[in-house]
């Protein structure tokens, strides 16, 4: 646990008692604060009471009397589509609002660091797609190269639930827009931006607000090094905002599919080969084609970002390459489930939007595609240019018929449920084809989470695999 600093003897309110809220309350108490907690759910309140936490109904008038700060869980809207009433009450009472990410950055460094030979470091990863894989891959590379490391944030453990840093340790954080949007302090040593595509638009009042939330990681305090995916205009904008001129190697540009030129520091992948360039010449390269845990151009972008982040810490190309070879991949993200009679089953349930599904469709040459679910804003038009590898789509979800109608140019069968879709795809599949779950939609019409949807696919695939 990271005891929270700066609130000793003060009352701090915590709104939302999920993983991050509970951890924040415990960490505040460990640092000498007096946390008072609230959640709209009676079940969550009862669990907090049983754990010894002090409940306070933050919805009542006067609830913020004597409160020094309000800590908000990431799932609670603080501005759009409308401010949560408790947050609005905190504003009216002039009570600062923060989240567990802000608490982490103000509390991570301690006086113990004065005795360390190597100062601990924080690498923070954000972006629309690939941030989980990039963060997990960085962590894997560090561990495989003998560097102590912890993985936390939107993946792994909550940021305040990790252990205090050891000499030379690296903490790798995956941060969502919900987390970066509200944190009052963000000072990573290395910040990574993977890419940007439309997502969570209602929460951020459009694409501009969504991008602004991501950009805060690079504007609040400023990292010593920045690894920036420049395949979209937003990434190029961030990179330009950070540099002092040509050749500024504090910024490492990353791309998948285009060669990056210039005198600066860049890492890019083309046709399955990663290349690192500095001052106009190549200084490192990796053949990514044989790395089973990183299939497809989108994962090659993740590999470039992870490679660049690890290079900023002094790791050599050969050590990074060896670690990548043993990277197993993450569940529900281009996850190899099994093979039978030349047919491969791949679970990419995390492909919950059009852009991530389009990337998955470009990773394999011949696909039996299982898709569908709760459609996101904007429709499926962005997928249509990427259906060339799809032999047939097998559509699930409550909106399956409408989803199938939008897939113009591709054969589509309305299956409704996962068991039907997997059985039909497996029966139709020929040697050399991939049965791919890449839904391009949220899961909540049929499942509690994308993980539950992916687990169902795995169960049905194992039936097909025998």
Q: Is 130 annotated as a binding residue?
A: yes
- Rounded to 5 degrees, φ, ψ at 259 are -80, 130
Q: Would you say 127 is a known binding-site residue?
A: yes
Report whether 41 belongs to an annotated binding site.
Answer: no
Pairing mode of beta strands 190-193, 225-229 = parallel
Long-range contacts of 257-266 (CB under 8 A, 24+ apart): 257/231, 257/297, 258/231, 260/230, 265/308
Instruction: Assess contact for 415 and 452: CB atoms under 8 A.
Output: no
Residues 139, 120: Cα–Cα separation, whole Å = 14
Instruction: Quote the DSSP letter at residue 244.
Output: S
End-to-end Cα separation, the chain, in angstroms: 44
Please check whether residue 193 is in contact with residue 229, taking contact to mean a CB–CB distance below 8 angstroms. Answer: yes
Whether residue 176 is annotated as binding a ligand: the answer is no
CA 107/CA 185 separation, integer angstroms: 10
Measured distance CA(381)–CA(408) in Å, rounded: 9
Q: 333: closest CA among 451, 462, 156?
A: 451
131 is in an annotated binding site: yes
- Binding-site residues, please? 127-133
- Binding-site residues for ATP, please? 127-133
């Amino acid at each position: 646990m990271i005891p929270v600093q700066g609130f000793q003897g003060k009352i701090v309110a915590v709104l939302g008692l999920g993983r991050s809220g509970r951890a924040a309350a415990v960490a505040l108490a460990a640092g000498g604060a007096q946390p008072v907690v609230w959640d709209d759910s009676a079940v969550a309140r009862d669990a907090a009471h049983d754990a010894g936490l002090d409940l306070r109904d933050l919805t009542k008038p006067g609830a913020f009397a004597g409160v020094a700060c309000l800590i908000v869980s990431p799932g609670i809207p603080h501005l759009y589509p409308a401010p949560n009433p408790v947050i609005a009450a905190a504003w009216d009472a002039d009570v600062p609002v923060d989240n567990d990410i802000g608490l982490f950055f103000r509390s991570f460094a301690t006086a113990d660091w004065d005795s360390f030979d190597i100062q601990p470091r924080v690498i923070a990863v954000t972006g629309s797609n690939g941030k989980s894989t990039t963060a997990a891959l960085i962590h894997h590379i560090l561990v495989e190269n003998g560097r102590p490391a912890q993985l936390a944030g939107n993946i792994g453990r909550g940021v305040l639930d990790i252990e205090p840093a050891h000499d030379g340790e690296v903490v790798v954080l995956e941060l969502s827009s919900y987390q970066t949007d509200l944190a009052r302090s963000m000072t990573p040593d290395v910040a990574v931006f993977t890419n940007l595509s439309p997502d969570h638009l209602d929460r951020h009042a459009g694409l501009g607000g969504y991008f602004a939330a991501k950009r805060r990681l690079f504007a609040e305090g400023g990292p010593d090094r920045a690894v920036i995916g420049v395949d979209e205009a937003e990434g190029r904008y961030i990179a330009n905002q950070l540099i002092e001129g040509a050749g500024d190697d504090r910024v490492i540009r990353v791309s998948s599919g285009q060669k990056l030129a210039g005198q600066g520091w860049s890492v890019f992948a083309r046709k399955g080969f990663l290349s690192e360039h500095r001052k106009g010449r190549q200084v490192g390269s990796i053949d990514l084609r044989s790395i089973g845990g990183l299939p497809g151009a989108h994962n090659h972008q993740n590999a470039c970002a992870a490679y660049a982040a690890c290079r900023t810490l002094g790791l050599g190309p050969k050590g990074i390459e060896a670690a990548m070879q043993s990277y197993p991949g993450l569940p529900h993200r281009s996850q190899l489930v099994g093979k039978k009679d030349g047919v491969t089953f791949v679970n990419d349930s995390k492909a919950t939007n059009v852009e991530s599904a389009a990337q998955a469709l470009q990773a394999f040459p011949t696909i039996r595609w299982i898709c569908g679910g709760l459609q996101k804003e904007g429709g499926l038009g962005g997928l249509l240019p990427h259906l060339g590898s799809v032999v047939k789509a097998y559509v699930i979800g409550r909106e399956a018929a409408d989803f199938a109608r939008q897939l113009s140019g591709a054969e589509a069968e309305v299956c409704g449920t996962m068991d039907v879709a997997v059985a039909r795809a497996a029966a139709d599949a020929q040697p050399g084809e991939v049965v791919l779950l890449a839904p391009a939609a949220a899961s909540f019409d049929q499942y509690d989470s994308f993980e539950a949807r992916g687990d169902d696919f795995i169960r049905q695939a194992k039936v097909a695999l025998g």
